Amino acid sequence: MNKTFLISALLFVVGTAFVLQDSETAVSDTITVNERQNSGISTVSIVNVNGTIGPTTTQYITRGLKKSQEAGDELLIIQLDTPGGLLDSTQDIVQALLGSTHPIAVYVAPQGANAGSAGTFITLAAHIAAMAPATNIGAASPVSMGGGEMDTVAQQKIFNYSESYIESIAEQRGRNAEWAKSAVRDGASITASEALEINVIDYIAEDIDDLLTIIDGLEVEGKILNTEGAEKNEIPQTLGEIFFSFLLRPEVMLILTLVAIYGIIGEVTNPGGIIPGVAGVIALILLLYGVAAMPINLAGFLLIGLAIILFVAEAFTPAFGLLITGGAVAFFLGALMLFQDLPDEMQVSMYWLIPATILTAAFFAWIVTYGVKSLFNPPRSGLESTIGKTAQVTDPILPGQEGRVFFDGEYWKAESDQSLNEGDTCEIVKFEGLKVIVKPLNQSQTKESSNG
């Protein structure tokens, strides 16, 4: 009961913290917006996108755009540094940028940053595309964006689609469509200076202040920007966005898979532990959320399920480790296939897969095997452990009448549906309160008792 209470309290506190965090952020943002609107100072909002593009990135950018519009900003700046990401999330972001009448600038920064793969699409879709010195853009081929192996026909289709898609984005914004297609077709990647020279981007800026000075007076969507000296407002990610962004990392999803397996199997093999079971169920729920948000390969899940079946079967079948070995192979292949539909930059490293496979095989070989077997072993303590053992008759036992037997250093009242004489050996059948039910040890003894 104490464990259950503590776990429930912990979950309640964590959930409340999430709600309060988001509420506090909303209240703080509202106060800031009112103060800025009343001051009459021109403002810009900034969102910082670092790492791979995923569902939480889409939510973050969409939220930032909405808040920038509500604040009456001159424009929204997306500071971008990404190796790429999911095509679905990229399409959602591109649609939001192309459909926005609120000015949006994508600024690839800081120096050394990269707008690779999905980042190329996002940069080209902005009203204003800018880069810091010593940055790169390109390598937008669908191999990097889709992950996994494709046959020739499917590959040609995805290439054709990606080429036409990025071409339409570039044409919409008046940028170099031919280079955009080459970024998909040939995986072309260029520096900031090269991008500016061939009209892939609009400006090179040392920092955001420099960018605001450069674009001051520019007309975007019928609006003359007043950005020089504008007040900058950074929109941070919420606690929920940070948490779910972390949760959707493939290596974290692999860990959640292991926790779900270990926790649930541990609870089944050791009922009453509570904590392993609760941890396993929570991990499973979070894993299902990740599966719904990410393009996970179903065959990988099936192989992992097969691996668990083989591991458990080893506990009941004298296969001399063959099933454990087969399960380890199935688990490794399943974990490898599980994330094969993700972009290359989101693939799970062998440094994660191999230890996870070894740990899982060891878990089932040493812990689960004995835990599962113990469920079917006879009791080793208490009265139940004496069932099937022998006792010595000390007082004769007649059908319907009680006698006495001696075992384990104690005398017990006993009953039997067959006659037993003093000195006979009997077998314990069961216990009824403080009385033991016995039967003759063998048929010959029963006949001798009857003749006597």
Q: How do residues 123-178 score in pLDDT, each as one tens digit?
A: 999 999 999 999 999 988 765 443 444 456 666 777 788 889 999 999 999 999 99
Reduced to 3 states (helix: H, G, I; strand: E, B; else coil), residue 432 is strand
pLDDT value of residue 171: 94
Residue extents of the structural domains in the chain: 40-238, 248-376, 383-451
pLDDT value of residue 59: 93
- Catalogue the E-assigned strands of 89-186: 104-108, 114-116, 128-131, 136-138
Distance between CA atoms of residues 107 and 176, nearest Å:
18
- How much is the pTM? 0.69
Amino acid identity, position 193: S
The correct answer on CATH 2.40.50.140 for the domain covering 383-451 is yes
When the candidates are 3.90.226.10, 2.40.30.30, 3.40.640.10, 3.40.50.620, the CATH number that belongs to 40-238 is 3.90.226.10
Q: Which of 406, 412, 407 lies closest to 432, judged by CA? A: 412
Q: Which of 64, 440, 429, 42 lies closest to 241, judged by CA? A: 64
Q: What is the pLDDT of residues 367-390, one digit of tens each?
A: 656 655 565 555 555 667 778 888
Rounded to the nearest 5°, which phi and psi values hold at 361? -60, -40
Q: What is the mean pLDDT of residues 332-341?
A: 81
CB burial of 281-298 (b: ≥16 within 10 Å; e: otherwise) equals: ebbbebbeebeebbbbbe
CA–CA–CA angle 113, 119, 123 (5° rounding): 95
